[in-house]
Structure 1
Amino acid sequence: MQSTWISLSFWLLGIAFFSYLVASIAYAAGVIGARRAAVVPALAGAGGPGAAAGTAWYRTAPELAFRLLTLGTAAHALGILARWQGAGHWPTSNMYEFVGFMAFTSMLAFQVLYRMYRLPALGTVVAPLAVVILAYAYVFPKEVKPLIPALQSYWLWLHVSTAALGEGFFAVAFGAALLYLVRTRDRAGRWGAAALEGVLWAILTLFAFTVLAYGLRNVAGMQWVFSLDGKTVLYHLPPVIGPAGAAVGEKGTLLGLPLPLVAAPAALKGKNLNTLLFSVLAGTLLYYALRGLLLRGRPLGEGFAGLVRGLDEDILDEVSYRAIAIGYPIFTLGGLVFAMIWAKEAWGRYWFWDPKETWAFITWLTYSGYLHLRINKGWAGRPSAWAAVLGFGVVLFTLIGVNLLIVGLHSYVGGD
């Protein structure tokens, strides 16, 4: 019976993934169609009796996308419940479960904010972000394992679920803030435009990271095996950066380059650092390929700005602020208060300055600073948007960088 529930959860998460993916395409099609209709009068219905009927698709696409997201969110929720039933514990105990749960909370937060503002363009950022996050979950082992002693507590779902829900609202705030920065790119100046390009490059690198980690682990079957101190470390990418203690060149060469070229410091996870290196290279290639193929070498931000020219920047600013105002107290409760209580119960102290604890605290400080500057100093517009983007960057580093690169008390699982 357990395997039946787990299999059902995989099917339901698959439905959620493809619903989010198709919804992302529908949102993008709606925004592009609306923009083209605004620029070319014939597409708006001025080209003859049949023109309006032929272009009704771009008006209905956002509503179709939202229905697909609603379907996907419902399937995702049922998938989480099915895994809970099959595993016998709340499914946020490893990276596969937690990352998948965060994708769900981002969609849940989007449902709340979308019903408040009905802003289809927001879906063009948040829905693809949920797709990438959920795809990233599939990088990790999906098997159900017994909980280690530190996780055998009701604080598991209280701490992790509320922290993830707060981060889901931060994801929506990031989406609105990014749209604001793209919308106001023409007033950003040279450095502001360059910083925006950096954010877009980072998003593409995250996408490349997910594709590489999943594809080379689950599809290509490539592997290099290191045996060190009685432990086996399996690489699915050429080990340019080897694990701590590995000898230079012990796995041969690749195009004349010794494998590994260097060994990672003991405090870092060499396998995941190696994947990050390849992801940066792939993300950079993808960034310049998109510029060359779609925009004839022009910056990505410039191309996207033309698609969102009609958006109300004040509404985008308000949505980002509202999402953080909702997510902040939820994250504070789950990410700090519940976390400290659980740490006292599990490890005997409220705080250890463990890397994950430290970066959760940095996340909280970042959003505390955002709200302080917004409420007391009148920060709005571009400064506020950049703070929201920075905040979610810290969230992603806490989720990806800390879990995959740094060894600490929260290092329950590895990754590729």
Structure 2
Amino acid sequence: MTHEQFEVLSNQAVAACAAAYFLAFLAHLGQWAAGRRAEPVEVAREREAVTVGAGAPTAGRAAAAPVTDEPERMLLLGRVGVAVTVVAAAVHFVAVLTRGLAADPVRVPWGNMYEFTLTGTFFVVLGYLLLYKRFGLSWLSPVVTGFVLVILMVDVLALYEPVVPLQDSLQSPWLVIHVVAAVIATAAFTIGGMCSVLYLVKSRWEQRTDAAGRTRGGYLARLPELAVLDRIAYRTHAFGFPIWTFAALITGPIWAHYAWGRYWGWDPKEVWAFITWVVYAAYLHARATSGWKGSSAAVIALVGLATLWFNFVGINFFFGSGSQHSYAVPEPTAVVLRLDG
């Protein structure tokens, strides 16, 4: 295949995986809609305990339906959604791979914001799938698929650039090491941030429903307990932090020295990468030494996520030529007017 054909294939794969993510998103919406009227397992067990404690007849208890966590229809739609997500991730990987093969000469597929976003969303999905069984992440499925679908749409509509060779500053093996580490850490922080958002939403929802005396039900009632959400968020952030340290404070300066002849130059992206590191270091330190958990920890984690995404998006668009990392911004097209006569 020619380089042009690989570029077309990559674009087609992006469209195909986006369609698959949309179908997976619909399946997971159907999954949680099917469980909307079903009684959450915690409520059902509390009701059963009250009935038993009240001296209900043994025969009546034996005839009662068993307490199950999810209805059969809900389980089926969940399995379909995950299966479609796996297919979408495979097509997504093809889109990333062929993007690199489309360049002449062949290169790594993260030379600009479009390609970094394409690769980053793939790692978010990959991380979610790898952690799915370990943490039982069925409750995170609609959030992940919806997030990736929206980001891919923005990536194609606002950030797309034709395939071009790498700039001189990117011609380094440290590009591969630095960016791969940064993408993995970004994916971990993003998944942890999703858990932190759900923690804050569920915490607020529980306070309101308890104050109003309403019965808990729906999607939020089927989320894990607040302590579980807090623990998963902490573990994903703890996983991503040393990788971000390696990417931002070790391989980044080495690559900067290779490309520009200095390890640190107070470039806006370097500064914000360090700010992101400080915020996440504060989050982990507060959890380990001061016992900060729950809402306070979740807020700090989301501040870190905000600095992370501002470093990725904001630096390139708001600082422009003020950053040596502005190669990620599409180059403006010069228009030359020729006046004859």
**TM-score normalized by structure 2?**
0.79
Matched, 1:86 2:102: yes
CA contact (8 A) 1:99 1:136 kept: no
Matched, 1:63 2:79: yes
Separation (CA, whole Å) in 2 of partners of 1:62 and 1:110:
14
Match of 1:140 in 2: 159
Separation (CA, whole Å) in 2 of partners of 1:89 and 1:103:
19
Match of 1:162 in 2: 181
Aligned with 1:307 (options 219, 229, 232)? 219
- 4+ long deviations beyond 6 Å: none
Deviation at 1:388, TM superposition (A): 1.9
Matched, 1:98 2:111: no
Q: 1:123 to 1:318 in 2, by over 3 A?
A: same
Match of 1:412 in 2: 327
Q: What secondary structure is seen at the aligned counterpart in 2 of 1:406?
A: helix
Describe the superposition over 1:43-76 as per-residue Cα deviations: whole angstroms up to 9, x where unpaired: xxxxxxxxxxxx7432212221111221111111
Separation (CA, whole Å) in 2 of partners of 1:159 and 1:333:
8
Deviation at 1:32, TM superposition (A): 2.8
Deviation at 1:305, TM superposition (A): 8.7
Matched, 1:180 2:199: yes
**TM-score normalized by structure 1?**
0.65
Aligned with 1:354 (options 255, 264, 267)? 267
Superposition pairs for residues 334-345 of structure 1, below 5 Å? 334-345=247-258
Deviation at 1:112, TM superposition (A): 2.1
Superposition pairs for residues 8-407 of structure 1, below 5 Å? 8-38=9-39, 56-87=72-103, 88-138=106-156, 139-186=158-205, 307-311=219-223, 312-407=225-320
Q: From the two aligned structures, give the one with the greater helix fraction.
A: 2
CA contact (8 A) 2:32 2:218 kept: no
Instruction: Give the structure with higher Rg (CA).
Output: 2
- Between the aligned residues of both structures, percent identity stands at 33
Structure 1 runs not aligned, ≥5 long: 42-54, 190-303
Q: 1:36 to 1:305 in 2, by over 3 A?
A: closer
Describe the superposition over 1:85-110 as per-residue Cα deviations: whole angstroms up to 9, x where unpaired: 22111011111101111111111111
Q: From the two aligned structures, give the one with the greater strand fraction.
A: 1
CA contact (8 A) 1:35 1:307 kept: yes
Deviation at 1:188, TM superposition (A): 6.4
Deviation at 1:306, TM superposition (A): 5.1
Structure 2 runs not aligned, ≥5 long: 45-70, 209-215, 333-341
Aligned length: 290
Q: In terms of mean alpha carbon deviation, does 67-76 or 337-346 score higher?
A: 67-76
For 1:80, give the aligned amino acid. Answer: V
CA contact (8 A) 2:39 2:217 kept: no
CA contact (8 A) 2:29 2:142 kept: yes
Please tell me the root mean square deviation across aligned C-alpha atoms, in Å. 2.4
Separation (CA, whole Å) in 2 of partners of 1:387 and 1:63:
34
